A and B are shown apart, each in its own frame.
Chain A
Amino acid sequence: AQSVTQPDIHITVSEGASLELRCNYSYGATPYLFWYVQSPGQGLQLLLKYFSGDTLVQGIKGFEAEFKRSQSSFNLRKPSVHWSDAAEYFCAVAPSSGGSYIPTFGRGTSLIVHP
């Protein structure tokens, strides 16, 4: 079974600063990887996904993530954070073969943006 770890519960950055949210996964092969964002009181919205190919994937709202097989990581980055990026961010992993294709979510990282 797959699992995912988000080591940072909270991250605080200043508006305009760069951002990196960490995600590590455990799976026997290359999984399908996702980042979702949850604004306060809302459901989750997909930011980006990785299935195969280019290891740097671009998403919505200026986010990108890089898949590193050697480190079992899929970190989310943004070069300049806006106050509206304050939200909860979830990394998710789904099996690429067999299984239910239902993703497993990490515990989330809460992003706080200071003006």
Chain B
Amino acid sequence: NAGVTQTPKFQVLKTGQSMTLQCAQDMNHEYMSWYRQDPGMGLRLIHYSVGAGITDQGEVPNGYNVSRSTTEDFPLRLLSAAPSQTSVYFCASSSGALSSYEQYFGPGTRLTVT
């Protein structure tokens, strides 16, 4: 099992550019989510999905889009990058089952917007 994988590990964008952060998991987890981590702010939820075809907004969704066409993949799209989106992005998945309920995190993508 690779667990949760994220690509790329690092990315530099110019203001206004668009890009997609990739996230994949091979554990057949129903729940997937995207967080951003900023100094002193902890992890803030951007978007999440409770299954293929179902997504919802988290705490800080503006400027980001997601889709969930398969159970395995949950890409995060930045439509027009802004310096405020400079952050470390983590993707996570969980089975949602009460007996587990553990979130498995990817290694993160460090994004800089200039």
Question: What is the number of residues of chain B that contact chain A, defined by CB distance less than 8 Å?
Answer: 27
Answer yes or no: B90 CB below 8 A from chain A CBs. Answer: yes
**Cα(A47)–Cα(B39), bound, Å:** 22
Main secondary structure of the interface of B (DSSP, over half): strand
CB pair B42 A43 closer than 8 Å: no
Q: Kindly identify which residue among B35, B40, B96, B101 contacts A49, using a CB–CB cutoff of 8 Å.
A: B101
* Shortest Cβ gap from A4 to chain B (Å): 9
* Shortest Cβ gap from B22 to chain A (Å): 15
Pairs across A and B, CB under 8 Å, 11 listed = A9-B40, A34-B102, A34-B103, A44-B105, A46-B103, A94-B101, A100-B48, A102-B48, A104-B59, A105-B43, A107-B41
Which 9 pairs, one residue from A and one from B, show the smallest C-beta to C-beta distance? A43-B105, A107-B42, A105-B43, A44-B105, A46-B102, A108-B42, A102-B48, A105-B42, A43-B107
Contacts known (A102-B48, A104-B45); A32 close to B107, Cβ less than 8 A? no
Give A contacts to B, CB under 8 Å.
6, 9, 32, 34, 36, 42-46, 49, 51, 90, 94, 100-108
CB pair B101 A51 closer than 8 Å: yes
**Cα(A36)–Cα(B102), bound, Å:** 10
Residues of chain B within 8 A of A46, CB atoms compared:
102-103
CB pair B106 A43 closer than 8 Å: yes
Answer yes or no: B31 CB below 8 A from chain A CBs. Answer: yes
**Cα(A105)–Cα(B58), bound, Å:** 12
**Cα(A72)–Cα(B31), bound, Å:** 27
**Cα(A108)–Cα(B38), bound, Å:** 11
A-contact bits for B9-42, CB 8 A (1 contact / 0 none): 0000000000000000000000101010000111
**Cα(A54)–Cα(B108), bound, Å:** 34
A-contact bits for B87-102, CB 8 A (1 contact / 0 none): 0001010101010011
Answer yes or no: B78 CB below 8 A from chain A CBs. Answer: no
* Shortest Cβ gap from A58 to chain B (Å): 15
A-contact bits for B71-93, CB 8 A (1 contact / 0 none): 00000000000000000001010
CB pair B103 A44 closer than 8 Å: yes
